[in-house]
Structures are given as structure tokens and as C-alpha cells.
Amino acid sequence: MIWADVYQQRLDPLAQWVPASWLWSTFLAAVPVLVLFWLLVPRRWLAPKAAAAAAICALAIAVLAFGMPALPAGMAFLYGAGFGLLPIGWTIFNAMLLYNVTVQTGQFDVVRRSVAGLSGDARIQAVLIGFAFGAFLEGAAGSGTPVAICGAIMVGLGFDPFLAAVLCLIANTSPVAYGGLGTPLIVLSGVTDLNTQTLSIMAGHQLPLLSLFVPLYMVRCMCSWRQTFEIWPVLLVGGGSFAVFQFVFATMTPYGIALFPMTDVGGGIFSLVVTAIFLRFWKPRKEWHFDRTPAEVQAAALKSAAAKAAHELAHDPHAAAAAALMQSVSSGVAVPERPLTAGRIMLAWAPFAIMSLLLLLSGLLRQEEGQRKRDKLGPLMVGPVQTSYTVAIPFLDQRVMRDASLHDADLGPQKPEKAEFEIPWLTSPGFPVFAAALLSILLLRMRPRAIFRVFRTTCIQMKIPIPTIALMLGLSYVTRYAGMDATVGVAFAYTGAMYPFFGTLLGWVGVFLTGTDAGSNALFGSLQKITATKVHQAGWMSQLNLGQAQVLICTANSTGGVMGKMIDAQSIVVATAATNQVGREADIFKAVIWHSFVLASVVGLITLLQAYVWPFTLMVPHLP
């Protein structure tokens, strides 16, 4: 079948054909993800090939088994692929462009040295950059920006590239629910009709526990338990300061003003500043450097940077330093470094400061834009131009109906699914990062030839990651519009009393499938509310009223989902690109999958306690 007026999703398309049909339908719905995993890990295919094969598999199952017409299925794939290119691919490209600008101009080395000046200990550097600075970037932008920027910085500090990728993926977990100025919780509120601030309070009663734990867990992945506890004061200050800030901003509404959109932005800065001040008064007894002395780490980093710079600048007649760098590399003698001054440090950090400011302003505009849409006040305008434009996807928009059992009658009559491609040219994270790169080029007075070289280098770096992201998102959108995602999700509802735990893992699966916590909330938020109602009506979670049960389970979709951020294809591809590990996606996936599952299970256990055990049940807020 090529076309139908409206495609009605079916959770169990094999009901008329085989016994125990729901089990086989669930297996069929999961096959594309299983194929993707099999090709990436055991078969070790390159990520674009594996994603393409899994997408073809998803299209075939959607059409042949679930009965989705071929044309809407194809448009669903194009819709997802387009979203992978804009805004996600656009954001990642510009994040790497900004990083390459700082490398090309030599400012990145100053950034590296300024961070190393706070502490030469690699464990502490991981907390400062991977956790604190990464949380700030997640709050301001999300979309892979923290992994891209922090991964590159850590490699510049002398971290093994593979380890840097793994650490950044682990660190970019607990802040995700408040990423992009609270976008995931805003999306969750939109699909469940639950109060956004109430959802934020519930998340604020779960995630600070993880925020306190994640820095310790991240450092433990670098070294032994003894070496980890040698810096316990820093772990307590760094993770504790962020956790306290996260709790306060997530749960407080002074004068009726919701603070949760600024949770990660302020928390990341607060943690970074408090930890930096603390390090002026406390140092570890012995610095830790991956079995190398600080001098060796610095020499290796300098030699690597010198080799790269010499290779790129050798044919540039304006690069007076090229000959000196080449001689340094061949002789193994480091070029004397200019002393760091406040002015040089400020100039080196200026590109990231500009990016942060523009991201913050863009996020505020995005929040205002979303509010205007919810209030039906029309688009936000900048002069005669809208800040975003929306294009309905032909043959797909308003042409898909979700299974009736997934609809919440309290939200009104069931409506067809929307399929509208948004072009938020001003409010997506990509534009402010691109603007920051252009302003940095002017600030650092780059020559035209150097600018061309930076753009060319960035294009080469992104030629595999961006197509991979597009294919992965195309795959996830096919599963979403065909109803395959809901079939997998409903299978979790059979767990009964254990649903608070397995519902949390459903959010984890959702982020793995969609690549974002907001996507997982859009995918499973309504299903979680419906299932929470059914589980509560069956007599489970009787310690809570119905509204509390809905708030707990729906929030767990988001807080459990954040732990899936480290294994979703988008994040892994970004990590490999940022650390020059392209082709090692399967290795990184295998390195983080168990960390991801363990941390998601911890969130699941917390949710179970809050569902059944006093006094943890007191942590679940009431709906207003």
C-alpha cells in the first residue's frame, strides 16, 4: 500500500496471525535497534553504513508488518533525517568550527594551560571541564555541544582521546533533563498536560542525588578507588555545589518566577567557580597524570600541537612560527611558552564566553517563542522576520493516528499526529555558536587563508558524523510514526508493581532511540501517564494519589532517560568526531553501555523507593 488518508497505528499488528502475538510484535518493533547494535558492535560496521541498514530494516518492517503506507513511511524518514541536519548537525558543525578557530589561532593552548593552572591533576581537570563546564554547555545549548567542546578541551589537556570521549559521555548525564534551558521538561509538560514546575520539583528530588555521585563515578572510570578518594574534597565541592544549585533552582519559585530553565546554566558556572576558589586553598598530596609526570604531559601536548600546527602552517607565508614549530618537533625541544597573563587568558576564553552569552540570549528567545506558541499569540518577530518558520511535512502531517489505547481522554478528543519541520534559524543552538565563531574570527584577526583552512578542516571532520546523525534520526522517526516505539513501550506496562523501575528504563530506551531527552519525553510521555493511571488503579502505588503517581512516573521518563544520553548514536558520533576517534563508535558504545545501564537502574531504584517506601514517598509533590 502506497498511500492512505489516515494511517491508524496498531500496537499488535500480528494479533490475527500468530499466538502470543504481542510478544512477536514487540520483537519485530525492536528488530531495527537490534540490527543497529549487531552491525555496530559485533560486525564493527562504520556508523553511517550501520545506520543506513537499520533504517532500511525499519522502513521494511513499518510497511510490511505494521501496515504503514510506503509514502508516509518514506516522508517520516526524510523528516527525521532533516531534523538530524538542522538543527542538530548544524549545531555540532559550528561547535567544532569554533573549536578549530581557537586551535588555529593558538588560543586553545592558552585555554589548556589556564585550566591546567588551576590544577595539573587530570582527575580534577575532568571534574572542572567534563562535569562543571559541560553542565553549563548542556544547559545553554544541549544537542551534543558539551561533548564536542569538552571532549576537545580534554584531549588538548593531554587526556587519551578514547578516555576523553567516554568521560564526557558519562559526565553529560544528570544535567540533561534541564538541557537547552529546560526544554525536555517543557516538552514533557506539553504531552502530558502536567504542570511544568511540578515536574521540575520531582526531577529536583531525584537528579541532585545523581549530580553528587556522577563526578565520583566519572573519576573512578579513570583510576582506582584509592586514587579516586584522594581527591574526595574536590568531588564533594564540585558535585555538591552543582547538586545544591540544581535542587534550589529546580524546586523554588520565588515571587512566582520559575527558575528551572536556568538550572544547568547557573549550576555549571556555580560549580566551576566554587571549585576553582576551593583549589586555591587545597591541593592533592600527589598529582595524577596517567602514569606520566606533569612535564611529560605538557611536552607531549605541546609536541602534538606543534606537529599539527607545523603541518598546517608550513605553506602559509604569513606564519612566522611555522619554521620554529617544525624545528621544535624534529628536535624534540619544546618552544618556550609565553607567560600567561590575565589579558591573554581572557582573550583565549573570549570565543567560549561569546558563545555562552549568545546561547543564553538565544535560549531566552526560544523560551519566549515557545510561550507565544502555547498562548497562540503568533510567531516571535525580529523586525519583519520570524525567529522560526514551520513547514508541514507532505503526506505525513495530520495523517497518522496513534493507537486509541495510548490516548488520554482527559486531554480531549484524539487528534492526528503533527509532522511539522521547524526552522528555528535564530533560536536553535547552531546559530549563536556560528555567530560566536564569526565574531571570534574577527576578534582574533584571522587571515583569509587561515579561515578557509578552518572551514575545510571542519567539513572533513564532519563528513561522517553528520550523515550518521541524519540516518539515525530518520530511523527513530520511522519507528515513531509507524507505532513501533509504542509497541516496545507498552511491553513495559506488563511489569505491574515494578513499573516505576521499568518505566524509568523506558525513558532510557527512548533517549537511545531518539537521541534527546526531549525526544524521549515526546515519544513516551503520554504513554507513561496512561500507564501510571492504569497501574495506580490496579492498586499499586497506593501510598500516592493518582496525580502524584502520574508526576512520579512521567518525570522518571525524563530522569531515567538522561542516562541513555551517553549511548545514543548522536552523542557517540559527536564524541568520536570531537576526539578524532571516527570509526571507533562501536568501541565507545561498548565502553559506556554498562555505565549507562547501571546509572539508569539507580534512577529506577530511586523511583521505586519514592513510589512505595516512606519517607521517600514524601518527596513526590502534589499537583497544584
Of residues 489 and 20, more confidence is placed in 20
Residue 533, C-alpha cell as written in the block: 493511571
For 34-67, write each residue's pLDDT tens digit. 888 788 778 878 778 888 999 999 999 999 999 9
What does the mean pLDDT of the chain come to? 82
pLDDT of residue 337: 65
The mean pLDDT value for 222-232 works out to 92
Of the candidates 219, 167, 222, 163, the residue with the CA atom closest to the CA atom of residue 584? 163
pLDDT of residue 298: 47
The mean pLDDT value for 403-419 works out to 77
Antiparallel, parallel or unpaired: β 381-382 and 385-386: antiparallel
Phi, psi of 167 (to 5 degrees): -65, -40
pLDDT of residue 332: 39
pLDDT of residue 302: 46
What's the rounded Cα separation, in Å, for the pair 308 and 287? 28
The mean pLDDT value for 489-514 works out to 83
The mean pLDDT value for 337-364 works out to 83
Q: Please, which residues bridge with residue 401 across strands?
A: 8
pLDDT of residue 183: 76
- The yes-or-no verdict on residue 225 having pLDDT over 80 is yes
The mean pLDDT value for 513-517 works out to 73
- The yes-or-no verdict on residue 140 having pLDDT over 80 is no
What are the boundaries of each domain within the chain?
7-371+424-619
Query: Are 245 and 266 within 8 A, CB to CB?
Result: yes
What's the rounded Cα separation, in Å, for the pair 553 and 529? 7
- The yes-or-no verdict on residue 231 having pLDDT over 90 is yes
pTM given for the model: 0.73
Q: Best-predicted range by mean pLDDT among 107-121, 205-219, 337-351?
A: 205-219
What's the rounded Cα separation, in Å, for the pair 180 and 188? 14
Residue 222, C-alpha cell as written in the block: 579513570
What's the rounded Cα separation, in Å, for the pair 550 and 569? 30
Specify the long-range contacts of residues 369-375, CB closer than 8 Å, at least 24 apart. Answer: 369/424, 369/427, 370/186, 374/190
